[in-house]
Structure 1
Amino acid sequence: MKHIKFLIIGILPFFAFATVHKYYVSVTEIEYVQEKKSVQIISRFFIDDFENALRTRYDESIVLSSKAEPKSATLYIERYLDEKFKIKINGEGVPFEFVGKAYERGLIICYFEVVNVESISSFEVSNTILFDVFKEQQNIIKIKINSKQKNYILIPQKDKALLKFN
Structure 2
Amino acid sequence: MRNPKILLLFFIAPLLAFTAMHKYYISVTQVEYIPEKKSVQVITRIFIDDLERLIQERYDETIVLAEDAESSDVNLYIERYLREKIKIKINNNDLNFAFIGKEYDLDIVRCYIEVEQINNIKSIEVVNKVLFDLYPEQQNIIKLKVNSKQKSFILTQQKDAAMLIFD
The letter of the residue matching 1:151 is S
TM-score in terms of structure 1 length: 0.93
- CA distance change for structure 1 residues 8 and 45 in 2, over 3 Å: closer, same or farther? same
Superposed, 1:25-104 pairs within 5 Å as 25-104=26-105
Deviations 1:122-143 (A, max 9, x none): 1001000000001111100000
- Shift of the 99–3 alpha-carbon distance from structure 1 to 2, 3 Å rule, reads closer
- The one-letter amino acid paired with 1:115 is E
Identity percentage of aligned residues? 53
Matching residue of 1:157: 158
CA distance in 2, matches of 1:24, 1:93: 28
Cα offset, 1:87, TM superposition = 0.5
Aligned residue for 1:17, secondary structure, equals helix
Q: CA deviation at 1:22?
A: 1.2
In structure 2, the residue matched to 1:112 is 113
* TM-score after normalising by structure 2: 0.93
Shift, 1:36, TM fit: 0.7
1:114, distance to aligned residue in structure 2 (A): 0.1
Q: 1:9 to 1:162 in 2, by over 3 A?
A: same
Alpha-carbon deviations, 1:21-51, whole Å to 9, x = none?
Answer: 3111011111000011000001111000011
- Report the more deviating stretch, 146-155 or 9-18: 9-18
Distance 2:15 2:99 in 1: 45
Residues paired across the two proteins, number: 166
What is the RMSD of the two structures over their aligned residues, measured on CA atoms?
Answer: 1.7
Structure 1 counterpart of 2:14: 13
1:71 Cα deviation after fit? 0.6
Structure 2: tracts of 5 or more residues without a match? none
Q: Which amino acid aligns with 2:123?
A: S
- Give the letter aligned to residue 111 of structure 1: Y
3-state SS in 2 of match to 1:54 = helix
Deviation at 1:65, TM superposition (A): 1.1
Structure 1 runs of 4+ with >4 Å offset: 2-8
Give the drift of 1:20.
Answer: 3.5
